[in-house]
Amino acid sequence: MLDPEDSAEHKVGSSFPKPFLVFVAMLIVLGAWLLLAFSAFEQKETDFYSFKVVNIRGKLVSLEKYRGAVSLVVNVASECGYTDSHYKVLQQLQRELGPYHFNVLAFPCNQFGQQEPDSNKEIESFARKTYGVSFPMFSKVAVTGTGANPAFKYLVESTGEEPTWNFWKYLVNPSGKVVKVWDSTVAVEEIKPYVTELIRDIIRKKKDEL
């Protein structure tokens, strides 16, 4: 007589043909591999230039275009007590050093005192007409909190320094790593020596490659 347990095993086995079981096993292995690969990708170190952002005219752009240059990343505002002094000197810095592998990268933000309330178009018009701004400007973003722009999240997480007001300044080297951070109270004039030193390093390396 057929053992009841043998009969149960036969029924289970006959319900799932061997090729199907092999296929399922392969899917499990593949899923595990993909999970590991995704985790490794997520853990891969990023840098500031690996992000994409929206410029002030609504176009998605890659910060990769600034790799190899020095960047001074600033959260700007149009109605702040620091607006006039910062915009004037930031533009002066751009004009003097811009041809030598340097850019001010301005990100309007309305999180502090509601001092950047206007639209992107109005912000750009104000900056261009009032200060002759020629450096790149980006769409208005949040720079702190859960809704912060990913590029700014990187700046904050990599430095432990989160903006608490308008015109925080992050100095990013040609490899996309943050090397210095200054708060609103630090004048741009005080930052210039750090910027010029990074630019000298770029020029020296280019000369060594010749």
Asked if residue 168 lies in contact with residue 74, where contact means CB atoms within 8 angstroms, the answer is yes
> Please, what sign has the CA dihedral across residues 48, 50, 53, 55?
positive
Three-class SS state of 52? strand
Residue 96 has pLDDT above 90, yes or no: yes
Question: Which contiguous run of DSSP H or E holds residue 186?
Answer: none
Tens of pLDDT, residue by residue over 167-190, are: 999 999 999 999 999 999 999 999
Tell me the domain boundaries of the chain.
Answer: 4-43, 48-209
Active site residues: 80
Average per-residue pLDDT in the chain? Answer: 88
The pair of structure tokens assigned to 64 is 């990769």
Residues 6+ apart with CB under 8 A from 155: 48, 73, 161, 170, 172, 178, 181
Place of tokens 């149960």: 8
Instruction: Please give the average per-residue pLDDT across 104-115, as a whole number.
Output: 98
- d(Cα 127, Cα 110) in Å, to the nearest integer? 15
48-209: in CATH 3.30.750.24: no
Three-class SS state of 75? strand
> Please, what sign has the CA dihedral across residues 148, 140, 76, 91?
positive
pLDDT band at 44 (very low <50, low <70, confident <90, very high): very low
Instruction: Please give the average per-residue pLDDT across 139-159, as a whole number.
Output: 97
pTM for the whole thing? 0.79
- d(Cα 157, Cα 159) in Å, to the nearest integer? 6
Q: How far is CA 176 from CA 38, 55, 109, 127, 179, in A?
A: 23, 19, 22, 26, 9
